[in-house]
């Protein structure tokens, strides 16, 4: 069945049920085809305005409002299903620091280090296993959990006062614990471990 044969309410339900996590951004290609939509009707509805292009190969339904996080969602979806929004971008989504990220930071396994970088994105690769406790979902977006996020930004050189603020906010709001912060810092080198311990000591005073 082509998309032209689907009544609008059913069409919307189908898009919702086959959408990728983020809610307002709809992917073209394999996921759209899995929902029963081929490239031809996708192009047709993009031309007529029913689907709004937010990035190359990514669409949202016209009736879904745009989001301030649309650029983050688009970059994350284009990197792939195993990607996590991370580092400063995750801090922003978690509201743990008063910073404006210089890019949309995304982390993937080291095996994917050769992937193309979407415009405006910074790709981080990791050999550290991504445990279930390292991942949370906010607004449909997969991102690094607070403890891992704080250790990540400490490792890449975020200003110590911002690391302390992030740790304080996360602890005060019950988003993490000192034990989780220490576990996330472990194995990243003495500088990161010292910075996390310093942040915890300053939070405690």
- Could you tell me if 130 and 37 lie in one domain? no
Supply angle C-alpha 25, 19, 3, rounded to 5.
Answer: 95
- Whether the full predicted model's pTM is greater than 0.75, yes or no, is no
The rounded mean pLDDT for the chain is 77
Q: Give the H or E element holding residue 10.
A: helix 8-18
- Could you tell me if 94 and 114 lie in one domain? yes
Helix, strand, or coil (residue 106): strand
Res. 12 pLDDT band, cuts 50 70 90: very low
Distance between CA atoms of 135 and 21, rounded to whole angstroms?
14
- Could you tell me if 80 and 166 lie in one domain? yes
Distance between CA atoms of 190 and 187, rounded to whole angstroms?
8
Dihedral sign of CA atoms 157, 159, 160, 166 in order: negative
Mean pLDDT value across residues 177-204: 91
- Could you tell me if 143 and 180 lie in one domain? yes
- Could you tell me if 101 and 190 lie in one domain? yes
- Could you tell me if 81 and 169 lie in one domain? yes
Res. 14 pLDDT band, cuts 50 70 90: very low
What range defines the domain where residue 93 resides?
70-204
Domain count of the fold of the chain? 2
Question: Lowest-confidence range among 65-79, 132-146, 153-167?
Answer: 65-79
pLDDT of residue 180 exceeding 70, the answer is yes
- Could you tell me if 108 and 197 lie in one domain? yes
């Amino acid at each position: 069945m082509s998309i032209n044969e689907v009544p609008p309410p059913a069409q919307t339900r189908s898009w919702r049920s086959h959408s990728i996590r983020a809610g307002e951004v709809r992917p073209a290609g394999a996921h759209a085809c899995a929902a029963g939509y081929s490239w031809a009707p996708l192009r047709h509805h993009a031309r007529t305005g029913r689907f709004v292009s937010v990035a190359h190969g990514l669409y949202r339904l016209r009736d879904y409002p745009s989001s301030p996080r649309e650029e983050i969602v688009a970059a994350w979806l284009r990197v792939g299903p195993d990607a996590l929004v991370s580092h400063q971008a995750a801090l922003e989504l978690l509201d743990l620091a008063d910073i404006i990220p210089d890019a949309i930071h995304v982390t993937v396994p080291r095996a994917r280090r050769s992937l193309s970088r979407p415009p405006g994105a910074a790709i981080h690769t990791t050999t550290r296993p991504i445990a279930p406790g390292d991942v949370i979902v906010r607004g449909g977006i997969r991102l690094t959990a607070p403890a891992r996020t704080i250790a990540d930004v400490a490792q890449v050189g975020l200003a110590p006062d911002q690391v302390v603020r992030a740790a304080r906010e996360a602890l005060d709001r019950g988003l993490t614990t000192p034990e989780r912060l220490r576990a996330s810092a472990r194995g990243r080198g003495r500088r990161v471990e010292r910075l996390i311990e310093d942040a915890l000591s300053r939070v405690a005073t």
